[in-house]
Amino acid sequence: MDNIWQTKPPHAVEIVHYDAGLKRHMVGIYRIMALGLVVTGAVAFGVAHTPALAAAIFGTPLKWVAMLAPLAFVMFFSFRIERMTTNGARAAFYGFSALMGVSLASLFLVFTGISIAQTFLIAAAMFAAISLWGYTTNRDISSWGSFLMMGVIGVVVASLVNIFLGSTTLHLIISLVGVAVFVGLTAWDTQRAKSEYLAFAGTQAAEKLQVMSALGLYLNLINLVQLLLTFTGQQRD
């Protein structure tokens, strides 16, 4: 009789295994993302505080390479990840994080370090709150995907156009819309990571998808920081 009461039903055991596996999966995603952010921050700070290197990159046409290379890398990474090993995918992600650090070094040349740090904390708090909501909500938000992707394309195109127009008003509008889009993407990417775990748990594909999920969430936070600097960043004298 004691053994009967102490034995969990099969479905309860499955739930426990699912919860534990999902927790490891999500922690792994955030760990990869956090390491990527550390790499990005270290490279950005190092480049910005090495005058000769900063001048060589941002004082020449190389600045366009630094600005556009991360976008090209993301497209390449998305198409090639299926052919990569899990370790290769992680290495590519950290390499991308370093490349992004070179690009973001320009922020340290425009804004004060204190305002960048403050903006990062604000963005991180927003990110954590919306990611937690995306993880815990029972609402299916998978239908947001196509709308949010259209929003990303719109923000990117408008930003490229405004490089040549230099409109302050358009920049503010782009920043407001961009914040809304990347907040939504954070929730959507978090819920998608859970769904992918359900579909691929225990396979090598799940480990690669872990890297892709980390990349998506990393980009959401990075973009939130850049967009929020429009409102909270204090420019250098």
Give pLDDT, residue 217.
96
Mean pLDDT lowest among 4-13, 136-145, 210-219: 4-13
Give pLDDT, residue 228.
95
Who wins on pLDDT, 103 or 59?
Answer: 103
pLDDT tens digits for 155-171? Answer: 989 988 988 888 889 99
The model's confidence at residue 1, banded by pLDDT at 50, 70 and 90, is very low
3-state helix, strand, coil in the chain (%, to 5): 85, 0, 10
Going by C-alpha positions, the residue among 217, 229, 205 that lies closest to residue 84 is: 205
The mean pLDDT value for 214-237 works out to 91
Using the predicted structure, report yes or no on whether residue 5 has a pLDDT greater than 60.
no
pLDDT tens digits for 90-142? Answer: 999 999 999 999 999 999 989 998 999 999 999 999 999 999 999 999 999 98
Who wins on pLDDT, 39 or 146?
Answer: 39
Residue 209 token pair: 């998808």
Report if pTM > 0.85.
yes
Q: Is the dihedral of CA 98, 100, 102, 106 positive or negative?
A: negative
Using the predicted structure, report yes or no on whether residue 216 has a pLDDT greater than 90.
yes
In percent, the amount of the chain with pLDDT more than 90 equals 51
187 DSSP assignment: H
